[in-house]
């Protein structure tokens, strides 16, 4: 017999979602600008600095989502051995992950992100230093992205490509954009999505 009452993860879903959406905004307002300031000490080109930060955000979400999937598989395998209810196995797994998010190996994800950035052809870094200088930003993004996977529905970032048609619903234009241009030259920050609906706009630069 299964209980009809939702698990702890489902009961706290709304409050955790509100916190994580706010935290994503805080990272944009604080850690992103800190990383920008830090990168400007090594790189004069503002476009390159902003591209680096955007790619760091995209790679952080990718690494955290992969880590979440692997973590969930391990938890499900372990809990299924002794699971008897009253909650469904899926709810029990989700409750466990929400309670034990500190077991997420965020440093492994940070290392993955930095490795991916090192081979990304769109960005480059002076040889005397390393992308590890923005590891604080990457770590915070990985943590938030991992936690966002525990929500129902999970939150994710929008996929963006250089040269795409600028979307008013998805992005704010950066102040140094050409406001008459229809195409995105590059992205500054990703939009946050829920079920393919934008809930927090990103930022992009438009140029002719």
Percent of the chain exceeding pLDDT 90 equals: 73
Instruction: Please write the tens of the pLDDT for every residue from 149-203.
Output: 999 999 999 999 999 999 999 999 998 888 899 999 999 999 999 999 999 999 9
Instruction: Please write the tens of the pLDDT for every residue from 94-112.
Output: 888 898 899 999 999 999 9
CB-CB contact of 145 with 112 (8 Å): no
Sorted by where each begins, the domain ranges of the chain are: 9-154, 158-207
Give the residue carrying structure tokens 């299964």. 2
C-alpha distance across the termini of the chain, in Å: 63
Q: Which of 104, 95, 37 is nearest to 69 (CA)?
A: 104
- Give the model's pLDDT for residue 17: 96
Which tokens sit at 185?
């030259």
């Amino acid at each position: 017999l299964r209980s009809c009452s939702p698990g702890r993860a489902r009961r706290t879903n709304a409050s955790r979602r509100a916190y994580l959406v706010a935290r994503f905004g805080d990272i944009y307002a604080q850690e992103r600008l800190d990383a920008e300031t830090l990168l400007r000490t090594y790189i004069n080109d503002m476009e390159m600095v902003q591209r680096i930060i955007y790619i760091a955000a995209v790679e952080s979400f990718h690494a955290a989502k992969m880590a979440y999937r692997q973590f969930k598989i391990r938890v499900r395998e372990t809990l299924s051995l002794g699971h008897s209810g009253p909650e469904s196995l899926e709810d029990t797994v989700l409750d466990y992950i929400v309670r034990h998010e500190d077991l997420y190996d965020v440093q492994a994800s940070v290392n993955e992100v930095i490795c991916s950035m090192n081979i990304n052809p769109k960005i480059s870094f002076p040889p005397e230093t390393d992308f590890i200088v923005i590891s604080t930003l990457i770590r915070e993004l990985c943590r938030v992205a991992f936690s966002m996977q525990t929500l129902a529905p999970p939150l994710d970032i929008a996929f963006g490509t250089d040269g795409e048609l600028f979307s008013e619903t998805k992005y704010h234009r950066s102040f140094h954009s050409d406001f008459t241009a229809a195409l995105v030259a590059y992205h500054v920050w990703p939009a946050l999505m829920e079920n393919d609906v934008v809930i927090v706009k990103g930022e992009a630069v438009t140029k002719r």
